[in-house]
Chains A and B, each alone.
Chain A
Amino acid sequence: MLYREAGQFKTNYVSDSAIFPLREDRIGLGLIILAAYVLAFVGNDFLLQAVMIPFLVFSLASIGLNILTGYTGLLSLGTGAFMGVGAYACYKLMTAFPDVNVIVWILVSGFFSAAVGALFGLPSLRIKGFYLAVATLAAQFFLQWCFIRIPWLVNYNVSGALDAPLRTLFGTPIMGPNATPQVRYLVVLTIVIALTWLASNLVHGRIGRMWIAIRDMDLAAELMGIRPLQTKLLAFAVSSYYCGVAGALLVFLWYGGAEYDVFNINQSFFILFMVIIGGLGSLIGSFFGAALIFIMPIVLGIVLPAMLSPFGISVGADTIEHLRFMITGALIIFFLIVEPHGLARLWQIGKQKLLVWPFPY
């Protein structure tokens, strides 16, 4: 009833090409963003620290991989390593130039990751599909090896680990042991919203259309005057930029310190899960995917013991862990069978149905 197209006329080209043509969508988005900010003041530390911050960080990484895999059609398994490049670059930059604000360095560190990503994207000019996926595995393992073997990256730190030094913004600590989850959540939220907005403009504009053209049929795209070399490398660079920023956020604003092992192959697979389950070629899908893959195991960990205890079955923590694995796997298969185009497609169908509700058409 409230969600209607009727009466909203598009009178110029700008309103016709708007990302959210419906007034209700714009209001809804505004409410979601508002709620996200309000959550910082009403949510408890567990919710912010263990659920919301990682959810946002993984969403950002998923957006990065979605630009590459969903929009440009290039399968990559090196996401974890590109995130690592961002984190290590951020660490080097902020310890070398401690006076510059750390937000600047988080955003700049993405460019290092972008350069590395573009370098490892070079094989994409000759191969695609699973062959490319394996080629990006080379990036994953080689970069991870570099993180272990080059002590310069961690300033010859004996433990070999990255740690978050104390950094402030307007006098409030936003990084390091003194920063409260609330402040860190606000920083992460703002960065993620800004970068999502940027990504949305990228994929809806000329560049995004070039990527989609390459994905749908590279030969035809080339005939239309889109240069595959530049377009694919740009996709790799932009994708890696997002992953790099997400990696820096992951280490310094979520964990507060981490070792090379955070950026292992499982991290890459994890992000790929989110992208595919959420929906290839959809920004909102990246958020859905991150929510499902990251938050579902947490919820299962809380819900399962509560569900099993009334039957007198008391289970150990490790059994819960195994059941979580099994249920996650089964749900991945279930969602793929129900809707192979991901949660974003379900969302779209839901919105279509809502537009005509309560009538069938």
Chain B
Amino acid sequence: MDILYKVFIEPFVFMGEAPDLLIQTLWEGLVSGVLYALIALGFVLIFKASGVFNFAQGIMVVFAALILVGLYEKGVPAFLALILAAGAMLVLAMVVERVVLRPLVNQPDIILFMATFGLTYLLIGFGELIFGGSPREMITDALFLPQGTTELEAFGGSVRLQHLDIAAAVIASIMIALLAVFFSKTRIGRALRAVADSHKAALSVGISLNQIWVIVWFAAGLVALVAGIMWGARSGVSFSLQIIALKALPVLILGGFTSIPGAIIGGLIIGVGEKLGEFYWGPLVGGGVETWLAYVIALLFLLYRPQGLFGEKIIERI
């Protein structure tokens, strides 16, 4: 009975006793959730438009951030470096479309998935060759990203909010809003949605699939750049960041592979769930549960609702 008490009663009592800690944990969960959501968003964009499960999204995050930092270190002004990094993502999108996607069109999903693995290796090698493997500092000052913390006196204690995290949340929200407008209001956005619905029907009304793929990969590259700046500002730019990309997978399961709101809400749920689990229940089993808790949450969720929160209802059911 002792173990049941420790699992089901004690953490909640502790939450009630120290609400400031609870708020702090929730806030940290939300912040990392926003960043998971950003990476998941890159996956969803590409998956919707081309049906490719893009494993290289994680390395694209690192690659974009590395180009930005690398150019800045060479003496390029920060905002010019930002534009050049975005340009590099456009070039990458075009090359990927021409060299990888076009020859492999109409192949089984797993083959395309594998091809993005090849792309991952290529980018890791290329990135390390040019920029070296050592971790770098993100250029927060030059990009006018705020530093420092605010202490809120509330709930019988104090809650520390990093300015950077607030900025990350704001920028991510702006970006998601922009993407939503882009998808629903512009001509290209409508073409993208048409392709997501049906490749063949889109082709028959004169939408160029190749062009759409370039645009989608470029959009995913831009999302990767933003995600790279934010993650980089928190924990430095290094190749170990790409492991974070794996954390986007449970987010996708939770939100559904094809839903942009799903990616965001899924990201927040995973972020908060992970931090709460680690802080309140982690000590019971020796800590470190953060590495697998997200997957277990997603796994349990799958058994109940295989298509995710907002995924398409027509899923291959067994």
Contacts and interface: CB of A to CB of B under 8 A. Distances in A.
The judgment on whether A and B are partners is yes
Interface of A: 69, 75, 123, 125-131, 134-135, 137-138, 141-142, 144-145, 148-149, 218, 228, 265, 269, 272-273, 276-277, 280, 318-319, 321-333, 336-337, 340
Interface in B99-152: 99-100, 103-104, 107-111, 113-115, 117-126, 128-129, 133
B114 A332 contact: yes
B53 interface: yes
Nearest to B292: A141
Contacts of B289: 145
A138 B298 contact: yes
A138 B295 contact: yes
B125 A323 contact: yes
A148 B111 CA distance: 34
28 contacts: A75-B110, A123-B303, A125-B318, A126-B317, A126-B318, A127-B302, A127-B306, A129-B109, A135-B253, A137-B249, A141-B291, A144-B291, A149-B285, A265-B243, A272-B114, A276-B111, A318-B128, A322-B128, A323-B129, A325-B128, A328-B118, A329-B125, A330-B118, A333-B100, A333-B118, A336-B111, A336-B115, A337-B104
B267 interface: no
B288 A148 contact: yes
A321 B53 CA distance: 27
A134 B122 contact: no
Contact of A336 (B104, B109, B257): B104
B318 A228 contact: yes
Which residue, B104, B118, B257, B306, has most C-beta atoms of chain A within 10 A? B118
Query: From DSSP, what is the main secondary structure of chain A's interface residues?
Result: helix
Given A280-B110, A328-B121, A332-B117, A145 B292 contact: yes
A218 to B, nearest CB: 6
Nearest to A127: B306
A130 B122 contact: no
A122 to B, nearest CB: 8
Interface in B273-289: 285-286, 288-289
Contacts, number: 137
A138 B104 contact: no
A124 B96 CA distance: 32
Given A137-B295, A142-B292, A340-B107, A332 B115 contact: yes
Contacts of B2: none
B196 interface: no
Contacts of A324: 125
Contacts of B250: 134, 137
A241 B27 CA distance: 44
Ordered nearest first, which 6 A-B pairs have the shortest CB separation?
A: A329-B121, A325-B125, A326-B125, A332-B118, A329-B122, A138-B295
Interface in B259-318: 285-286, 288-289, 291-292, 295-296, 298-299, 302-303, 306, 316-318
B252 interface: yes
Contact of A329 (B109, B118, B243, B296): B118
Given A127-B306, A265-B246, A322 B125 contact: yes
B298 A326 contact: no
A346 to B, nearest CB: 15
A327 B126 CA distance: 10
Contacts of B110: 69, 75, 276, 280
Nearest to A232: B318
Contact of A128 (B126, B257, B318): B318
Given A141-B295, A329-B123, 14 more contacts: A126-B306, A135-B302, A137-B250, A138-B296, A265-B243, A276-B110, A277-B114, A322-B128, A325-B124, A325-B128, A329-B122, A330-B118, A330-B122, A340-B104
